[in-house]
Chain A
Amino acid sequence: MISLKKQYDRKLFVIFGIMFLLMSGLISAATISTGVFPAGHDIMLIAMAVMCFCNAYLAPQFIQNDERTKRIKERSMFYSYFIILGYMIIMLTFLQFHFLAITAYQAVAILAALTIMTVFITMVVLSKRY
């Protein structure tokens, strides 16, 4: 019964991941061809695809919320905090010296997408380590 539930969870995440990947591919192609990439929402869709694929890998382990899972989550939040701070410093520098000319919406969308991707990729890396 438990193993069936695990397989079901993994499949569902893979299906959603492919769906998000196709949607992001379509929207990114449209934004690139019109010269407005990154529009904001296109990057968010890529982040959602990454999140779904990471969850597909993590779901069988994370379904049982045991002490190892809690440790992976705790450590991933700790490392992600510093990585996200790094993104912010880089982004602030780029914006300050006008290396990047993006709107506030784009900046927030990029940061949100990077945050989502960083947290989940860190969890995958740490689940390999622990």
Chain B
Amino acid sequence: MENRIKELRKDQSISQEKMAIKLNVSRQTIISIEKGKYNPSLPLAMQIARLFNRTVEEVFILDEDDME
């Protein structure tokens, strides 16, 4: 699943470390989510969206591949 975390994080000048501390996860988890290697759970996805004052759909993009 693709996402706009990196873009939104840079817009709001939030570092990966700061974001990890705010979400109570490791920095590696943020890196994996940004790269699309790991899909977060619904509560974590909602927390990420809330951190950027966006909706989940604005942060995470559902591909055709994800539907299969």
Contacts and interface: CB of A to CB of B under 8 A. Distances in A.
Interface residues of B, number: 13
A129 interface: yes
B41 A64 contact: no
A64 B26 contact: yes
A33 B40 CA distance: 53
Tier of interface size on chain A: 10 to 19
Nearest to B39: A130
Interface in B17-42: 20-21, 24-26, 28-29, 32, 37-38, 40-41
A contacts with B: majority SS: helix
Contacts of B24: 64, 66
A130 B32 contact: yes
A75 to B, nearest CB: 11
A22 B44 CA distance: 43
B24 to A, nearest CB: 7
Interface of B: 20-21, 24-26, 28-29, 32, 37-38, 40-41, 44
